[in-house]
Chain A
Amino acid sequence: MSFRKNLSRPVHVALFILAVGCTRQTARAGGPSDYQAFVNKTAPALVTVKFVLKVQGSGGQRDIEREFTAVMIGPRGMVLCSSVQLGTSKLMRRFGGTATPTDIKVLIGEDTEGVDAKLLASDSDLDLSWLQIKEPREKGYVFVDFANSGTVPVGGALLTINRMDKFFDRAPLLNVGRLGGKTRKPRELLLPSSGLDVTPGMPIFAEDCSTVGVVVIQSPDPEDTAANPGMAGQSTAALILPSADVMKATKQARETALESEEDDEGETESAQPSATSKPAGQGAGDESATGLSTPE
């Protein structure tokens, strides 16, 4: 049963006010007190993802328990994270095995138990994965809204927020840095200066609290490294994927999630040209396609 059916429309509307962010006016005022307000508003959207990674390779199977910080991006429990963190990156698969995240739980706020979640989709090119809480709570969740995006010039200030590990009660940690540059290869990416915390999957904000993008791990594609095997290690970096690309990929992830619910019954994959998939329509389980709200 689709979890979408569990929510009534009034609740849906009420959820919108939960989106995090400070108003541009507030941010322009600057000063430490505003940073504290930013932390207070943003930190609740940072969740902990706990899961067991089943790694299957020539040496057999190994289960590894892991956890990392990710970001809630929708009021109904959609979570964005780094594929590298989740173990679903192509890099893992290059070694011939498979890595499957299982028993995924999302811990929100002070919660220590977590709620069950499933993997909706992964995009290894972008280093993004989307999780969905299986039974989202009715009152919704605080989330980071990538629709409220801004731009920053090279040299401009960037803010990021992360959480310490569980020993430190996952205390939120603000980090301030600068945009160091931009690149168009392998895609349009922003280059953080060396001082900025670049934990994969963490959102990056401008000083006005608008979202700039998400930290992703980028490395050359297999075709690139085929003739330069050493390049994969040398040219791997944590960079910022702009918000617009995050939004676009999130939309595709939602559509894919709907498609996979009607997945095949395991017939051998035909070598015939594949029929192109039809657009899945609106709202694949979390927000409607236009459901990302404007922050308060």
Chain B
Amino acid sequence: MRPGPGELAGGLLLVVAAVVISLPQTAVADDTDKAEQLRKDLRRMVETARDRVFPALVNIRVSTIDYWGGKEHKGASVGSGTIISTKGYVLTNQHVTNKGKKFRCTLADKQEISAEMVGEDPLTDLAVIKLDLSELDAAKSALPVASFGDSGQLQVGDQVMAMGSPFSLSRSVTLGIVSNTRRVFGGGSNGDDIEEMELEQGQRTGLFTRWIQHDALINPGNSGGPLVNLKGEVVGVNELGGSGMGFAIPSNLAKQVAAALIEHGEVPRSWIGISFKPIAKTGFDRGVLVNSVVAGSPSAEAGIEPGDLILKVNGEPSTLRFAEEIPPFMQRIADQAIGSTLLMTYERKGKAVETAIVTRRLEKDRGSETALRSWGISVAEITSKIAREMRLDDCHGVLITGIRSGGPAQLAEPPLRYGDIVREMEGETVADIAGLVDQYKRIMETDPLPEYLLVQFERRGKHEITLLKPKPEQNDDPPRDLRKAWIGIATQPILKKLATKLGHPDRLGFRITRVYPHTNAAQSDLAVGDIIIALNGETLRPKGMQDAGLLARRIRKLDAEGEATLTVLRQGQSVEISLPLEHTRYEPSEARRDENRDFELTVRDVTFFDRDANQWGEDVTGVIVVRVEDGGWADLGGIRDGDLIQKIDEYRIRSRKSFRRAMERISKEQPQRVVFKVLRGIQTRFQYVEPEWKPELQLKEPPTSQSQPASKE
């Protein structure tokens, strides 16, 4: 029988123990010394390595804007990075900075400063941002910088450290060993192709990467952080992880990409339009197989066809047996100067042919995106890749990437849909996304707005037209119910058994469990414990718990302007109590609302039931937050749904009116920081909100009033 894992482990421990016991005593002492020395040496090396990179470690908080569903959506993400230059350049992952509009970096000495985008390279998932050095505390020492090591020197088994902010826990270090230095992810049924990885829909990545696989623990938040050798050099940029495995982009690749991003803001690359397949399982013994050729690409124009066997590139033999050999080969081609000529020798039907391929610029997979809110669409630039995949003739027009449900595009007849290509707007050709945005601005600034816009769009090869009615998005107040008669009490039904136990088996009714303060009921003689047995002389006889609402229903049927007489059983005696009825109070869901678009939060009035539930007295005033937009100023400042805003800076908030007035003043003053005093549960809190008064979006909505009441009042 095979031993179980536990037994096996126990067995191993026993073996080790036995070996130790059998050693002579001097040998044991020597080994103990050696182990101690080794431990000290390792610790010293780890400390040295840590101290060389740790000060250059950066925690990056990113405010993002994404466009989908016909709207822009703000968000926030966190990642790690490394300062690689005294000029303040920080290397990180592109998926950390992706869609970022604002970057805040926390340095090792806890200084928090802002940064701006330098360049992104999604194909390697690398990006460089630049710290705003003017915000640095001059009194502190110079900006610490980490240096790159040679990732080509790494061996399986080498010890490495991962540094970063796992789960936003800043300045964390883990230690592990290199598990593989040339990891690629195989795809296809045989695993002999390289899997095409995507950072997000339609955006390829990892084309040129052979990852360093290691077991230094990394988690979300480590992304973009350095993988460090024991010499204190950055040998990789952590990108992927899971199940105890980490994958880092080799520093040799990262260094080259970072340099290009700093110099050009992008990585210029050559493209020939071929995908390759290694020959290990093809039966060929040399060359690399052409898997596919993009129609109209330089390779297609040079006569290369799928199935050809590439033997030489610029005279150098090119034999790629395994998937791991593909990325450096791809990089070799990409590194050629754009527009240069590649001499390729290929074999077709046993015959070697030579051809010249003139490379072209490798274009980005995804282009600009935005949302045109008043039309209810989100749109994207049509890149060459998108055009190819959608089988479009060219890159003209704009791709619809999302429709706001219930918005103008969806209400159009026929409705616009995801995947439609907008070709013409109001008779004008839509050349690209910038053109459409220009048109949008022009149209939305006209007064009055045109009732309908004629849109010509392409859907699966069909050229259709529709009418779109432009309409700015607005939030109306929720509807209110008709107000009816009400008495400010809560009750429970007294059924037969309970009545019997209470000593009056025939006197069923409703026992008062609460008299709401500041109501007519509170000013009457009604008290908790009273049992209401009749309303206006009509006996109340609940049959079961299903009749718990009987009394309230009967009251609601009365005239709210009138009085009610309750027959109450109190200490065995019947008492008649008359009181004026009131109107039903508004529920929180019926409260009037105000939306502030600068801070992106919606507030509502405090209702009677809010006061009751929170036991707030009359002196507690404010407005209740009902909605905070993700990634908006209020969200980033820590304002949460349910907060009672009591004060904003020096303005005391008593109602929506004073809230609106305060926000209007703040909007004019445009302070750097706004302090919201809120009541959250039983605690007051001061939330510091830092607005970005400069426009964040280049493609912005037409100007609207800063603070919008949800309804006309």
Contact = CB atoms under 8 A, between A and B. Distances in A.
B415 to A, nearest CB: 9
Contacts of A100: 475-479
A63 B474 CA distance: 12
A220 B583 contact: no
Nearest to A51: B406
Nearest to B561: A276
9 contacts: A99-B478, A100-B477, A125-B556, A265-B713, A268-B621, A268-B622, A269-B606, A271-B517, A272-B618
Contacts of B586: 269
B8 interface: no
B618 A221 contact: no
Contact of A122 (B407, B479, B655): B479
Contact of A265 (B548, B606, B657): B657
Interface stretch (B11-19, B249-257, B587-595): B587-595
Nearest to A118: B476
A246 B664 CA distance: 45
A99 B479 CA distance: 8
Contact of A231 (B411, B482, B546): B546
A12 B547 CA distance: 46
A117 interface: no
Q: Which 8 A-B pairs have the closest CB atoms?
A: A63-B406, A266-B656, A223-B549, A221-B549, A52-B406, A271-B518, A227-B545, A98-B478
Given A64-B405, A123-B482, A271 B608 contact: yes
* Residue among A187, A268, A272 facing the most chain B CB atoms (10 A cut-off): A268
Nearest to B518: A271
B605 interface: yes
A54 B547 CA distance: 33
Interface in A98-141: 98-103, 119, 121-125, 129
Interface of A: 52-54, 56, 62-65, 88, 90, 93, 96-103, 119, 121-125, 129, 186-187, 220-224, 226-228, 231, 235, 249, 252-253, 256, 260, 263-274, 276-277, 279
A97 B405 contact: no
B375 to A, nearest CB: 14
Contacts of A273: 518-520, 523, 582
B580 interface: yes
Given A223-B549, A266-B592, A90 B481 contact: yes
Nearest to B589: A93
Interface in B164-194: none
Contacts of B611: 271
Contact of B557 (A98, A187, A227, A260): A187
B74 interface: no
Contacts of B608: 269, 271
Contact of A102 (B476, B519, B582, B621): B476
B583 A276 contact: yes
A209 B621 CA distance: 55
Given A63-B407, A93-B589, A273-B520, A122 B480 contact: yes
Contacts of B477: 100
A97 B481 contact: no
B483 interface: yes
Contact of A256 (B406, B482, B580): B482
Contact of A249 (B405, B482, B560): B482
B659 to A, nearest CB: 8
Nearest to B620: A268
Contacts of A220: 546, 549
Contacts of A226: 548
A63 B404 contact: yes
Contacts of B407: 63
B515 to A, nearest CB: 12
B546 A268 contact: no
Nearest to A63: B406
Contact of A56 (B627, B657, B713): B627
A54 B475 contact: yes
A51 to B, nearest CB: 9
Interface residues of B, number: 64
Given A266-B605, A273-B523, A123 B481 contact: yes
B104 interface: no
A52 B608 CA distance: 30
Given A63-B407, A256-B483, A268 B605 contact: yes
A63 to B, nearest CB: 3
Contacts of A277: 483, 560-561, 583
Interface string B533-575: 0000000000001111100110011001100000000000000
A253 B482 contact: yes
A64 B188 CA distance: 42
Nearest to B519: A273
B99 interface: no
A289 to B, nearest CB: 16
Nearest to B479: A88
A65 B410 contact: yes
Contacts of B618: 270-272
B589 A274 contact: no
B523 to A, nearest CB: 7
Given A221-B552, A224-B548, A226-B548, A65 B405 contact: yes
Contact of B582 (A53, A88, A274): A274
B482 A119 contact: no
Contacts of A56: 478, 626-627
Contacts of B518: 270-273
A272 B406 CA distance: 41
Interface string B504-524: 000000000000011110010
A186 B552 CA distance: 11
Interface string B690-713: 000000000000000000010001
B385 interface: no
B204 interface: no
A80 to B, nearest CB: 13
A262 to B, nearest CB: 10
* Residue among B481, B520, B548, B590 facing the most chain A CB atoms (10 A cut-off): B481
* Residue among B479, B553, B592 facing the most chain A CB atoms (10 A cut-off): B479
Interface in B616-669: 618, 621-623, 626-627, 654-657, 660
A231 B544 CA distance: 12
A54 to B, nearest CB: 7
B583 A98 contact: no
Contacts of A264: 592, 713
A241 to B, nearest CB: 13
Nearest to A279: B561
B585 interface: yes
A165 to B, nearest CB: 15
Contacts of B592: 263-264, 266
A268 B654 contact: yes
B685 interface: no
Contacts of A53: 406
Contact of A224 (B547, B590, B713): B547
Contacts of A271: 517-518, 608, 611, 618
A208 B623 CA distance: 55
Contact of B580 (A65, A90, A276): A276
B655 A266 contact: yes
B231 interface: no
B484 interface: yes
A268 B627 contact: no
B552 A223 contact: yes
Nearest to B582: A274
Contact of B546 (A187, A224, A274): A224
A120 B43 CA distance: 76
Given A276-B561, A277-B583, 10 more contacts: A56-B626, A63-B406, A101-B479, A129-B479, A186-B549, A224-B546, A267-B605, A268-B654, A271-B618, A272-B518
B607 interface: yes
Nearest to B548: A223
Given A54-B406, A98-B589, A277-B583, A269 B607 contact: yes
